[in-house]
Structure 1
Protein backbone atom coordinates (compact mmCIF):
# COMPACT_ATOMS: atom_id res chain seq x y z
CA UNK A 1 0.00 0.00 0.00
CA UNK A 2 2.89 2.36 0.69
CA UNK A 3 3.69 2.55 -3.02
CA UNK A 4 0.12 3.42 -3.97
CA UNK A 5 -1.55 6.84 -4.27
CA UNK A 6 -5.27 7.60 -4.13
CA UNK A 7 -5.13 8.25 -7.87
CA UNK A 8 -3.48 4.91 -8.67
CA UNK A 9 -6.02 3.07 -6.53
CA UNK A 10 -8.91 4.77 -8.31
CA UNK A 11 -7.56 3.44 -11.59
CA UNK A 12 -8.10 -0.14 -10.40
CA UNK A 13 -11.33 -1.82 -11.55
CA UNK A 14 -14.38 -1.68 -9.28
CA UNK A 15 -12.82 0.74 -6.78
CA UNK A 16 -14.66 3.98 -6.10
CA UNK A 17 -13.85 6.91 -3.85
CA UNK A 18 -15.53 5.38 -0.80
CA UNK A 19 -13.64 2.09 -1.18
CA UNK A 20 -10.32 3.87 -1.63
CA UNK A 21 -10.92 5.99 1.49
CA UNK A 22 -11.73 2.82 3.45
CA UNK A 23 -8.53 1.15 2.21
CA UNK A 24 -6.44 4.15 3.24
CA UNK A 25 -8.06 4.29 6.68
CA UNK A 26 -7.53 0.54 7.20
CA UNK A 27 -3.89 0.73 6.10
CA UNK A 28 -3.28 3.67 8.41
CA UNK A 29 -4.84 1.82 11.34
CA UNK A 30 -2.70 -1.27 10.60
CA UNK A 31 0.45 0.86 10.65
CA UNK A 32 -0.61 2.56 13.89
CA UNK A 33 -1.34 -0.76 15.64
CA UNK A 34 1.90 -2.35 14.43
CA UNK A 35 3.98 0.60 15.65
CA UNK A 36 2.20 0.62 19.00
CA UNK A 37 2.72 -3.13 19.53
CA UNK A 38 6.37 -2.89 18.50
CA UNK A 39 6.98 -0.07 20.96
CA UNK A 40 5.13 -1.78 23.81
CA UNK A 41 7.15 -5.02 23.61
CA UNK A 42 6.00 -8.28 25.26
CA UNK A 43 2.90 -7.80 27.39
CA UNK A 44 2.00 -11.37 28.37
CA UNK A 45 -0.39 -13.93 26.96
CA UNK A 46 -3.64 -12.43 28.26
CA UNK A 47 -2.93 -8.88 27.09
CA UNK A 48 -1.43 -9.97 23.77
CA UNK A 49 -4.43 -12.18 22.92
CA UNK A 50 -6.87 -9.48 24.06
CA UNK A 51 -5.13 -7.00 21.79
CA UNK A 52 -5.39 -9.34 18.81
CA UNK A 53 -9.06 -10.15 19.43
CA UNK A 54 -9.73 -6.44 19.80
CA UNK A 55 -8.95 -5.99 16.12
CA UNK A 56 -11.97 -8.08 15.20
CA UNK A 57 -15.45 -6.63 14.80
CA UNK A 58 -18.05 -7.36 17.47
CA UNK A 59 -19.83 -9.63 14.98
CA UNK A 60 -16.70 -11.66 14.22
CA UNK A 61 -15.68 -11.88 17.88
CA UNK A 62 -19.11 -13.19 18.83
CA UNK A 63 -19.41 -15.91 16.22
CA UNK A 64 -15.84 -17.08 16.73
CA UNK A 65 -15.96 -17.08 20.53
CA UNK A 66 -19.31 -18.88 20.61
CA UNK A 67 -18.88 -21.28 17.70
CA UNK A 68 -15.15 -21.87 17.10
CA UNK A 69 -12.92 -21.59 20.12
CA UNK A 70 -15.47 -22.29 22.86
CA UNK A 71 -14.82 -25.65 24.54
CA UNK A 72 -18.60 -26.12 24.50
CA UNK A 73 -19.76 -24.39 21.30
CA UNK A 74 -23.26 -22.92 21.21
CA UNK A 75 -25.78 -24.06 18.60
CA UNK A 76 -25.79 -22.03 15.41
CA UNK A 77 -29.28 -20.66 15.99
CA UNK A 78 -28.43 -19.51 19.51
CA UNK A 79 -25.48 -17.48 18.19
CA UNK A 80 -27.64 -16.05 15.42
CA UNK A 81 -30.28 -14.98 17.95
CA UNK A 82 -27.59 -13.25 20.03
CA UNK A 83 -26.62 -11.19 17.00
CA UNK A 84 -30.10 -10.68 15.63
CA UNK A 85 -29.28 -12.29 12.30
CA UNK A 86 -30.14 -15.52 10.52
CA UNK A 87 -28.34 -18.80 11.12
CA UNK A 88 -27.45 -18.77 7.42
CA UNK A 89 -25.66 -15.46 7.85
CA UNK A 90 -23.58 -16.82 10.73
CA UNK A 91 -22.65 -19.98 8.83
CA UNK A 92 -21.72 -18.00 5.71
CA UNK A 93 -19.53 -15.50 7.55
CA UNK A 94 -17.79 -17.92 9.91
CA UNK A 95 -15.02 -19.02 7.47
CA UNK A 96 -14.25 -15.40 6.62
CA UNK A 97 -13.98 -14.45 10.30
CA UNK A 98 -11.71 -17.43 10.98
CA UNK A 99 -9.48 -16.46 8.04
CA UNK A 100 -9.20 -12.98 9.55
CA UNK A 101 -7.93 -14.39 12.85
CA UNK A 102 -5.39 -16.53 11.03
CA UNK A 103 -4.18 -13.45 9.17
CA UNK A 104 -3.69 -11.65 12.47
CA UNK A 105 -1.84 -14.62 13.98
CA UNK A 106 0.52 -14.64 11.00
CA UNK A 107 1.13 -10.90 11.35
CA UNK A 108 4.57 -10.19 12.90
CA UNK A 109 2.85 -7.59 15.07
CA UNK A 110 1.12 -10.44 16.92
CA UNK A 111 4.14 -12.72 17.14
CA UNK A 112 3.79 -12.88 20.92
CA UNK A 113 0.38 -14.59 20.61
CA UNK A 114 1.82 -17.14 18.18
CA UNK A 115 4.69 -17.81 20.59
CA UNK A 116 2.33 -18.22 23.56
CA UNK A 117 0.09 -20.68 21.72
CA UNK A 118 3.15 -22.67 20.65
CA UNK A 119 4.37 -22.79 24.27
CA UNK A 120 0.92 -23.92 25.43
CA UNK A 121 0.88 -26.64 22.76
CA UNK A 122 4.21 -28.00 23.99
CA UNK A 123 3.09 -27.93 27.63
CA UNK A 124 -0.31 -29.58 27.11
CA UNK A 125 0.75 -32.04 24.41
CA UNK A 126 -1.86 -34.32 22.80
CA UNK A 127 -3.88 -34.51 26.02
CA UNK A 128 -3.73 -33.50 29.67
CA UNK A 129 -5.97 -33.35 32.75
CA UNK A 130 -7.98 -30.14 32.91
CA UNK A 131 -6.39 -29.37 36.28
CA UNK A 132 -2.90 -29.51 34.74
CA UNK A 133 -4.02 -27.30 31.85
CA UNK A 134 -5.42 -24.78 34.33
CA UNK A 135 -2.08 -24.66 36.12
CA UNK A 136 -0.29 -24.00 32.82
CA UNK A 137 -2.72 -21.23 31.90
CA UNK A 138 -2.22 -19.62 35.30
CA UNK A 139 1.53 -19.79 34.74
CA UNK A 140 0.96 -17.77 31.57
CA UNK A 141 -1.09 -15.26 33.52
CA UNK A 142 -4.39 -16.33 31.90
CA UNK A 143 -7.67 -16.98 33.70
CA UNK A 144 -8.38 -20.71 33.03
CA UNK A 145 -12.15 -20.06 33.01
CA UNK A 146 -12.06 -17.05 30.67
CA UNK A 147 -12.55 -16.58 26.97
CA UNK A 148 -8.87 -15.83 26.40
CA UNK A 149 -8.01 -19.32 27.71
CA UNK A 150 -10.41 -20.87 25.19
CA UNK A 151 -8.92 -18.73 22.41
CA UNK A 152 -5.36 -19.82 23.23
CA UNK A 153 -6.32 -23.48 23.62
CA UNK A 154 -8.09 -23.48 20.27
CA UNK A 155 -5.12 -22.15 18.36
CA UNK A 156 -2.68 -24.24 20.40
CA UNK A 157 -4.67 -27.39 19.59
CA UNK A 158 -7.47 -27.11 18.99
CA UNK A 159 -8.48 -28.95 22.16
CA UNK A 160 -11.80 -30.48 23.20
CA UNK A 161 -13.06 -31.76 26.53
CA UNK A 162 -13.09 -35.49 27.22
CA UNK A 163 -14.51 -35.79 30.73
CA UNK A 164 -11.78 -34.43 33.05
CA UNK A 165 -9.21 -34.20 30.26
CA UNK A 166 -8.53 -32.00 27.28
CA UNK A 167 -7.35 -33.64 24.06
CA UNK A 168 -6.30 -32.29 20.70
CA UNK A 169 -8.69 -32.83 17.81
CA UNK A 170 -5.89 -32.63 15.24
CA UNK A 171 -4.52 -35.73 13.59
CA UNK A 172 -3.04 -38.10 14.67
CA UNK A 173 -5.41 -37.41 17.56
CA UNK A 174 -5.36 -37.17 21.32
CA UNK A 175 -6.16 -39.92 23.79
CA UNK A 176 -6.71 -42.65 21.20
CA UNK A 177 -3.41 -41.87 19.50
CA UNK A 178 -1.59 -42.21 22.82
CA UNK A 179 -3.34 -45.51 23.48
CA UNK A 180 -2.24 -46.73 20.07
CA UNK A 181 1.35 -45.92 20.99
CA UNK A 182 0.98 -47.95 24.18
CA UNK A 183 -0.42 -50.86 22.21
CA UNK A 184 2.72 -50.86 20.10
CA UNK A 185 4.77 -51.10 23.29
CA UNK A 186 2.63 -54.04 24.40
CA UNK A 187 3.32 -55.83 21.14
CA UNK A 188 7.03 -55.69 21.90
CA UNK A 189 7.06 -56.06 25.69
CA UNK A 190 4.42 -57.85 27.78
CA UNK A 191 5.85 -56.47 31.04
CA UNK A 192 7.17 -52.96 30.31
CA UNK A 193 9.08 -51.02 32.92
CA UNK A 194 8.11 -47.56 34.12
CA UNK A 195 10.89 -45.99 32.06
CA UNK A 196 9.80 -47.84 28.91
CA UNK A 197 6.26 -46.49 29.26
CA UNK A 198 7.42 -42.97 30.14
CA UNK A 199 9.69 -42.94 27.10
CA UNK A 200 6.82 -44.06 24.85
CA UNK A 201 4.51 -41.41 26.26
CA UNK A 202 7.19 -38.72 26.10
CA UNK A 203 7.55 -39.50 22.40
CA UNK A 204 3.85 -38.64 22.11
CA UNK A 205 4.43 -35.31 23.84
CA UNK A 206 3.27 -36.16 27.38
CA UNK A 207 5.15 -34.81 30.38
CA UNK A 208 6.11 -37.30 33.11
CA UNK A 209 3.36 -36.23 35.52
CA UNK A 210 0.71 -36.34 32.81
CA UNK A 211 2.03 -39.70 31.62
CA UNK A 212 1.51 -41.35 35.02
CA UNK A 213 -1.99 -39.87 35.27
CA UNK A 214 -2.73 -41.18 31.78
CA UNK A 215 -1.65 -44.70 32.68
CA UNK A 216 -3.80 -44.67 35.80
CA UNK A 217 -6.94 -43.16 34.25
CA UNK A 218 -7.00 -44.41 30.66
CA UNK A 219 -5.59 -47.93 30.89
CA UNK A 220 -5.96 -51.05 33.03
CA UNK A 221 -2.22 -51.10 33.67
CA UNK A 222 -1.04 -51.33 37.26
CA UNK A 223 2.47 -51.08 38.60
CA UNK A 224 4.13 -54.04 40.37
CA UNK A 225 7.49 -52.81 41.58
CA UNK A 226 8.93 -51.32 38.41
CA UNK A 227 6.95 -53.50 36.02
CA UNK A 228 3.51 -52.70 34.63
CA UNK A 229 0.84 -55.24 33.75
CA UNK A 230 -2.91 -55.61 33.30
CA UNK A 231 -5.02 -57.47 35.83
CA UNK A 232 -8.66 -58.45 36.04
CA UNK A 233 -10.64 -57.83 39.19
CA UNK A 234 -9.91 -61.40 40.28
CA UNK A 235 -6.20 -60.63 40.10
CA UNK A 236 -5.64 -62.86 37.08
CA UNK A 237 -3.43 -61.31 34.45
CA UNK A 238 -5.14 -60.43 31.16
CA UNK A 239 -3.72 -61.73 27.90
CA UNK A 240 -1.57 -59.44 25.74
CA UNK A 241 -4.37 -58.96 23.19
CA UNK A 242 -6.44 -57.22 25.89
CA UNK A 243 -3.75 -54.87 27.11
CA UNK A 244 -4.36 -51.12 27.31
CA UNK A 245 -7.84 -51.47 25.87
CA UNK A 246 -9.89 -49.56 28.42
CA UNK A 247 -10.72 -46.08 27.16
CA UNK A 248 -12.79 -43.43 28.93
CA UNK A 249 -16.48 -43.63 28.15
CA UNK A 250 -17.40 -41.98 24.85
Structure 2
Protein backbone atom coordinates (compact mmCIF):
# COMPACT_ATOMS: atom_id res chain seq x y z
CA UNK A 1 0.00 0.00 0.00
CA UNK A 2 1.51 3.40 -0.96
CA UNK A 3 2.76 5.40 2.02
CA UNK A 4 2.45 9.11 2.77
CA UNK A 5 6.06 9.56 1.63
CA UNK A 6 5.36 7.92 -1.74
CA UNK A 7 2.49 10.36 -2.36
CA UNK A 8 4.61 13.29 -1.17
CA UNK A 9 7.44 12.42 -3.56
CA UNK A 10 4.97 11.96 -6.40
CA UNK A 11 3.50 15.41 -5.80
CA UNK A 12 7.01 16.86 -5.70
CA UNK A 13 7.87 15.40 -9.11
CA UNK A 14 4.58 16.67 -10.56
CA UNK A 15 5.02 20.20 -9.19
CA UNK A 16 8.58 20.43 -10.49
CA UNK A 17 7.46 19.18 -13.91
CA UNK A 18 4.50 21.56 -14.10
CA UNK A 19 6.59 24.54 -12.97
CA UNK A 20 8.82 23.90 -16.00
CA UNK A 21 5.81 23.46 -18.30
CA UNK A 22 6.87 19.93 -19.25
CA UNK A 23 4.45 17.18 -20.19
CA UNK A 24 4.83 13.74 -18.65
CA UNK A 25 6.03 12.46 -22.03
CA UNK A 26 8.68 15.20 -22.25
CA UNK A 27 9.98 14.49 -18.75
CA UNK A 28 10.03 10.77 -19.49
CA UNK A 29 12.10 11.40 -22.61
CA UNK A 30 14.59 13.58 -20.70
CA UNK A 31 14.97 10.96 -17.94
CA UNK A 32 15.00 7.91 -20.24
CA UNK A 33 11.89 6.26 -18.81
CA UNK A 34 8.37 5.62 -20.04
CA UNK A 35 5.53 8.12 -19.76
CA UNK A 36 3.55 5.48 -17.86
CA UNK A 37 6.31 5.31 -15.23
CA UNK A 38 6.18 9.06 -14.69
CA UNK A 39 2.38 8.94 -14.43
CA UNK A 40 2.42 6.14 -11.82
CA UNK A 41 5.03 7.92 -9.72
CA UNK A 42 3.13 11.24 -9.80
CA UNK A 43 -0.12 9.52 -8.80
CA UNK A 44 1.63 7.77 -5.92
CA UNK A 45 0.81 4.34 -7.36
CA UNK A 46 4.48 3.39 -7.53
CA UNK A 47 7.31 3.94 -5.07
CA UNK A 48 10.22 5.25 -7.13
CA UNK A 49 13.64 3.95 -6.09
CA UNK A 50 16.18 6.62 -5.23
CA UNK A 51 18.20 6.21 -8.47
CA UNK A 52 15.04 6.69 -10.57
CA UNK A 53 13.84 9.59 -8.45
CA UNK A 54 17.23 11.31 -8.68
CA UNK A 55 17.24 10.79 -12.46
CA UNK A 56 13.81 12.39 -12.85
CA UNK A 57 14.77 15.38 -10.71
CA UNK A 58 18.17 15.77 -12.37
CA UNK A 59 16.40 15.94 -15.74
CA UNK A 60 14.75 19.09 -14.34
CA UNK A 61 18.02 20.49 -12.90
CA UNK A 62 17.03 19.94 -9.27
CA UNK A 63 18.06 17.43 -6.64
CA UNK A 64 16.47 15.68 -3.69
CA UNK A 65 17.15 16.94 -0.16
CA UNK A 66 16.16 15.13 3.01
CA UNK A 67 14.73 16.64 6.18
CA UNK A 68 12.99 15.29 9.26
CA UNK A 69 10.21 16.67 11.43
CA UNK A 70 8.88 15.67 14.86
CA UNK A 71 6.21 13.01 15.22
CA UNK A 72 2.77 14.24 16.21
CA UNK A 73 3.39 13.69 19.95
CA UNK A 74 6.43 15.98 19.90
CA UNK A 75 4.65 18.45 17.64
CA UNK A 76 1.67 18.55 19.98
CA UNK A 77 3.94 19.44 22.89
CA UNK A 78 5.63 22.14 20.80
CA UNK A 79 2.29 23.72 19.86
CA UNK A 80 1.17 23.66 23.49
CA UNK A 81 4.36 25.45 24.53
CA UNK A 82 3.99 28.08 21.80
CA UNK A 83 0.31 28.67 22.64
CA UNK A 84 1.33 29.63 26.18
CA UNK A 85 3.70 32.35 24.99
CA UNK A 86 2.52 35.94 24.37
CA UNK A 87 2.29 36.82 20.69
CA UNK A 88 4.27 40.02 21.24
CA UNK A 89 7.21 38.00 22.55
CA UNK A 90 7.16 35.72 19.51
CA UNK A 91 7.00 38.70 17.14
CA UNK A 92 10.02 40.25 18.88
CA UNK A 93 11.91 36.95 18.80
CA UNK A 94 11.24 36.59 15.08
CA UNK A 95 12.53 40.11 14.41
CA UNK A 96 9.43 40.78 12.33
CA UNK A 97 9.30 44.54 12.79
CA UNK A 98 12.99 45.03 12.11
CA UNK A 99 12.81 43.13 8.84
CA UNK A 100 9.54 44.66 7.62
CA UNK A 101 10.69 48.19 8.45
CA UNK A 102 13.84 47.64 6.43
CA UNK A 103 11.90 46.37 3.40
CA UNK A 104 10.82 49.98 2.93
CA UNK A 105 8.31 50.49 0.10
CA UNK A 106 8.86 47.08 -1.50
CA UNK A 107 5.33 45.65 -2.01
CA UNK A 108 4.70 42.45 -0.06
CA UNK A 109 2.07 40.39 1.73
CA UNK A 110 2.95 38.35 4.81
CA UNK A 111 2.51 34.66 4.01
CA UNK A 112 3.10 31.15 5.31
CA UNK A 113 3.59 30.41 8.97
CA UNK A 114 4.21 34.09 9.75
CA UNK A 115 0.72 34.98 8.47
CA UNK A 116 -0.82 32.13 10.48
CA UNK A 117 1.02 33.28 13.61
CA UNK A 118 -0.30 36.83 13.26
CA UNK A 119 -3.84 35.41 12.98
CA UNK A 120 -3.63 33.59 16.29
CA UNK A 121 -2.26 30.16 15.31
CA UNK A 122 0.67 29.25 17.61
CA UNK A 123 2.71 27.57 14.88
CA UNK A 124 6.50 27.16 14.92
CA UNK A 125 7.97 29.96 12.80
CA UNK A 126 11.72 30.47 12.39
CA UNK A 127 11.83 33.01 9.53
CA UNK A 128 9.73 35.86 8.17
CA UNK A 129 7.70 34.63 5.18
CA UNK A 130 6.39 37.06 2.56
CA UNK A 131 4.89 36.99 -0.94
CA UNK A 132 6.68 39.20 -3.49
CA UNK A 133 5.81 39.81 -7.14
CA UNK A 134 8.15 38.62 -9.87
CA UNK A 135 8.14 42.08 -11.40
CA UNK A 136 9.64 43.39 -8.16
CA UNK A 137 12.40 40.79 -8.27
CA UNK A 138 15.12 43.27 -9.30
CA UNK A 139 14.17 45.62 -6.43
CA UNK A 140 14.14 42.69 -4.03
CA UNK A 141 17.58 41.60 -5.25
CA UNK A 142 18.97 45.10 -4.69
CA UNK A 143 17.52 45.05 -1.19
CA UNK A 144 19.14 41.67 -0.53
CA UNK A 145 22.49 43.00 -1.73
CA UNK A 146 22.21 46.05 0.54
CA UNK A 147 21.24 43.77 3.44
CA UNK A 148 24.30 41.53 2.85
CA UNK A 149 21.99 38.68 1.92
CA UNK A 150 23.15 35.11 1.43
CA UNK A 151 20.95 32.51 -0.21
CA UNK A 152 20.32 29.05 1.18
CA UNK A 153 22.54 26.44 -0.46
CA UNK A 154 20.77 23.07 -0.26
CA UNK A 155 23.86 21.23 -1.52
CA UNK A 156 26.04 22.54 1.29
CA UNK A 157 23.31 22.80 3.92
CA UNK A 158 24.19 26.42 4.73
CA UNK A 159 23.78 29.96 3.46
CA UNK A 160 26.09 31.24 0.73
CA UNK A 161 27.81 30.04 -2.41
CA UNK A 162 24.80 30.34 -4.77
CA UNK A 163 23.29 33.14 -6.86
CA UNK A 164 21.30 35.71 -4.89
CA UNK A 165 18.66 36.50 -7.53
CA UNK A 166 15.23 34.80 -7.14
CA UNK A 167 15.28 33.91 -10.88
CA UNK A 168 18.23 31.58 -10.32
CA UNK A 169 17.70 27.94 -9.30
CA UNK A 170 17.37 27.34 -5.57
CA UNK A 171 15.12 27.85 -2.58
CA UNK A 172 13.73 31.35 -2.10
CA UNK A 173 15.33 31.66 1.30
CA UNK A 174 17.94 34.21 2.39
CA UNK A 175 19.81 35.20 5.52
CA UNK A 176 20.28 38.97 5.86
CA UNK A 177 21.60 41.34 8.51
CA UNK A 178 17.93 41.98 9.41
CA UNK A 179 17.11 38.29 9.86
CA UNK A 180 16.06 35.37 7.69
CA UNK A 181 13.46 35.96 4.98
CA UNK A 182 11.64 33.43 2.82
CA UNK A 183 9.79 34.64 -0.27
CA UNK A 184 6.95 33.15 -2.28
CA UNK A 185 7.48 34.70 -5.72
CA UNK A 186 4.20 35.29 -7.57
CA UNK A 187 2.79 37.11 -10.59
CA UNK A 188 0.39 39.11 -8.42
CA UNK A 189 0.28 39.56 -4.67
CA UNK A 190 -2.36 37.35 -3.06
CA UNK A 191 -5.51 38.89 -1.62
CA UNK A 192 -4.77 40.00 1.92
CA UNK A 193 -6.61 40.88 5.09
CA UNK A 194 -5.39 43.43 7.60
CA UNK A 195 -4.50 42.17 11.07
CA UNK A 196 -3.72 44.59 13.90
CA UNK A 197 -1.56 43.97 16.95
CA UNK A 198 -0.88 46.91 19.19
CA UNK A 199 -0.20 49.98 17.10
CA UNK A 200 0.78 48.06 13.97
CA UNK A 201 -1.20 46.53 11.15
CA UNK A 202 -0.03 43.74 8.86
CA UNK A 203 -1.24 42.66 5.38
CA UNK A 204 -1.53 38.88 5.66
CA UNK A 205 -2.76 35.98 3.55
CA UNK A 206 -6.01 34.74 5.20
CA UNK A 207 -5.89 31.38 6.99
CA UNK A 208 -8.35 29.82 4.52
CA UNK A 209 -6.07 30.69 1.59
CA UNK A 210 -2.99 29.50 3.49
CA UNK A 211 -4.52 26.09 4.02
CA UNK A 212 -5.19 25.71 0.30
CA UNK A 213 -1.74 26.85 -0.86
CA UNK A 214 0.60 25.66 1.91
CA UNK A 215 0.41 21.96 2.89
CA UNK A 216 2.82 22.44 5.82
CA UNK A 217 0.74 25.23 7.35
CA UNK A 218 -2.46 23.26 6.67
CA UNK A 219 -1.08 20.25 8.55
CA UNK A 220 0.04 22.34 11.52
CA UNK A 221 -3.31 24.13 11.66
CA UNK A 222 -5.08 20.77 11.65
CA UNK A 223 -3.05 19.61 14.66
CA UNK A 224 -3.65 22.94 16.42
CA UNK A 225 -7.41 22.76 15.84
CA UNK A 226 -7.53 19.20 17.16
CA UNK A 227 -5.76 20.37 20.29
CA UNK A 228 -8.08 23.36 20.62
CA UNK A 229 -11.17 21.19 20.21
CA UNK A 230 -9.95 18.71 22.81
CA UNK A 231 -9.09 21.45 25.28
CA UNK A 232 -11.90 23.89 24.53
CA UNK A 233 -9.51 26.46 23.02
CA UNK A 234 -10.35 28.99 20.33
CA UNK A 235 -10.05 28.24 16.63
CA UNK A 236 -7.70 30.82 15.03
CA UNK A 237 -9.77 30.84 11.85
CA UNK A 238 -12.82 31.88 13.81
CA UNK A 239 -10.83 34.52 15.68
CA UNK A 240 -9.37 35.89 12.42
CA UNK A 241 -12.76 36.04 10.74
**Alignment TM-score > 0.5, same fold:** no
TM-score (normalizing by structure 1): 0.28
More strand by proportion, 1 or 2?
A: 2
Higher gyration radius (CA)? 1
